[in-house]
Amino acid sequence: MKQIDAKELDFRTLNERLRQATDDIEILNCCGQRFIGAGLSDRKILIRGTPGNALGAYLNGASLTVGGNVQDAVGDTMNAGKITVHGNIGDAAGYAMRGGTILVKGNAGYRAGIHMKAYQDKVPQMVIGGRAGSFLGEYQAGGVIVVLGLGEKQSRIVGNFPCTGMHGGKMFLRAACEDIAFPQQVTARRATDEDLREIQNILLEFCAVFSYDIAAILDAPFTVITPDTSNPYRQMYVVN
């Protein structure tokens, strides 16, 4: 694995060097450089430090791993590949992603999975190990969002207004969710074993990456949320 010291490098130079490289790369001393790995279709990139916004935007198959926290708009419109975050993830994670996987050990900010979509064999997946902020899955149109709330003492594992405008895809929350107000156009129900089989592979991967025990994770109620097609989304901000 080749190393690039990102200290003193601006985002253009750093990304240019990433594009030119043919090996897997470890970035050292990363501090705020944007668009890392944008559009990359192969290679593994390991990032030490704090990458800037839009990490892995348009990612097309490469694998990005971050040792700590990441900022906003990670995986914006990503198409394929994997982003693994060992810390927390900022706002608008997986913005409009249409393929690939985002695994987060810690918490997510606001609007995780906003406008995720899916098409034929392209089904994006995002697993958040901790809790998620408000507007989780806003305008979700496809794909799968899982929030596990691991290590959370409080019962609320998501903020306010989850699934606002959701009209496709699925969300799994590892909680009974009795105190969460979902919008009228979605259906929230207790997940069955059959439902959970759908996310078994991604949970196994999450457990392998972050060293969790799958049995312990599954030893809790899950709620599955899907859009209710007979009662479509009408308004949040204005009536139209």
Which positions touch another protein (CB under 8 A)?
Answer: 10-11, 31-34, 49-53, 69, 71-72, 88, 90-91, 109-110, 133-135, 159-160, 181
Tell the burial category of 20 from Cβ atoms under 10 Å away from its Cβ (0-12, 13-18, 19+): exposed
Tell me whether residue 53 or residue 77 sits nearer to another protein (CB atom): 53
Q: Copy the structure tokens of residue 164.
A: 């606002």
- Laid out side by side, the sheet with 168-173 consists of 2-5, 25-31, 44-50, 60-66, 80-85, 101-104, 125-128, 141-147, 168-173, 223-227, 186-190
Taking the least distance from each CB to another protein, the nearer of 181 and 216 is 181
Shortest distance, CB of residue 69 to another protein, whole angstroms?
A: 6
User: What is the smallest separation between the CB atom of 57 and another protein, expressed in angstroms?
Assistant: 14
Residue 154 has which token pair? Answer: 């409080």
Give the β-pairing of 223-227 and 125-128. Answer: unpaired
Q: Smallest distance from the beta carbon of 169 to another protein, in angstroms?
A: 22
Comparing CB distances to another protein, the nearer of 90 and 113 is 90
Sign of CA dihedral 59, 61, 64, 70: positive
The torsion of the CA quartet 208, 63, 116, 186, rounded to 10 degrees, works out to 0
CB of 196 to another protein, least distance (A): 30
Q: Based on CB atoms, which residue is closest to another protein, 28 or 214?
A: 28
Q: What's the length of the chain?
A: 240
CB closer to another protein, 39 vs 49: 49
State the nearest-atom distance from the C-beta of 17 to another protein, in Å.
Answer: 18
